[in-house]
Structure 1
């Protein structure tokens, strides 16, 4: 009975004495379910070292992985979305935006920055899925357009990292217009003979796939990324047929000719540097 009545320190006798691990130090791989330590994730470029699953990350992490010494100058950072349609569904759009600002610390679903990658000057525009599902609204289109103008002016290659659920329904036609707007700007970039690399990550769907994500001089994807227009469930219900195994994964899309390469995130920086050297030459 002494074991149950022990008063001396040595074993934990109440739950309030337990030392909990700080939030974010550990999480679980969505694929193999094994625990991952945050420091190991950073060192391994946010790829599970057990199964190779590529964890979903945002612009902050991609910039740290790709820019030399994580040094860059952010571009057009103060552009924010308006509510031109006074959209109301279950919640006013302006309220949804305020919640997203507070939750993510982002101004919208994309950030753009100028820095160097292995010594090569580069502008990277990277989408953030945590901001309203990475949806493409007016700010996303405007930042991409301005980034392209910046690249043309400075004669710098452009890398666009897509991660999106598609068009932002709260902006309706204003959102859909961004498909044509960004495509037209990319045509100007091509005319200026400045390289454009498109990197598709998990997920890249909807109007983003139907526009700038598939217009790169080189289209690259990460392993296992979901890439498509409509979701698999919607397609299956529409055509009333079972879909092939691995449908809409980056491997399936590569096999059917829509991608040039699939590249592991841990090798991405070296591969991009090789592409930039080749295109400059």
Structure 2
């Protein structure tokens, strides 16, 4: 197969990201006919159709999704090559570092690690995006080439995509959370959110006949905590989500059989060799995020 040039990879990514040849042409400063011709040439080299064309624009076929993901990752490595070469010449670790993280990790796990990272390596510029841990989640962002490293929940119902590397950073326990001073918190409705759905939690829940079916659904763990603070229900939440909990809630240990959640990093094999990603992984591993400070105030009963 004839090799694809960097500009052809940029065309692939632009068409996928913009959803059409005209928008991709505008983004790249090319004509629509030039983009269309380039895509046909790329498909000829690859030997398969990469985009479905229609009145609504162009969207990647399954083969196109794979091709675009590889294109993003290859283009990213060109950037890493230049950043690491410049850093090596100056004796520093340099360049942008794209991170995808779910909400509670972005709020409570990443900041201290990034603070230490940027003190040690001021030429690294982290870019953090919050991604819901549903469907492909943060690992999917890494696989698609949109992030260099993802902070993900590991060991649950979703498998880490093939070809990615992962490692656990912290094991966090779940706890019962309810309005402080409530005489019978287990009589309250359960407040839950969609991301709180790992098999490690559900398996435990199925064996607890005291837990009611979720009667209140919230957008995310922050909203769950706010609703519990206002006395609208009780919840079962992981420790990261409980950082910042006020005195309006009481946090109870669920005992030795309590469920836990593994939080770690996911990256590609090529990014695992980059100095910026290696430096962030070291900082993540160096910390052990404490569980919520008031965990264990009450007995699970």
TM-score surpassing 0.5? no
Calculate the TM-score normalised by the size of structure 1.
0.25
* Structure ID, larger Rg: 2
Bigger strand fraction: 2
**Relative contact order, higher structure (CA 8 A, sep 6+):** 2
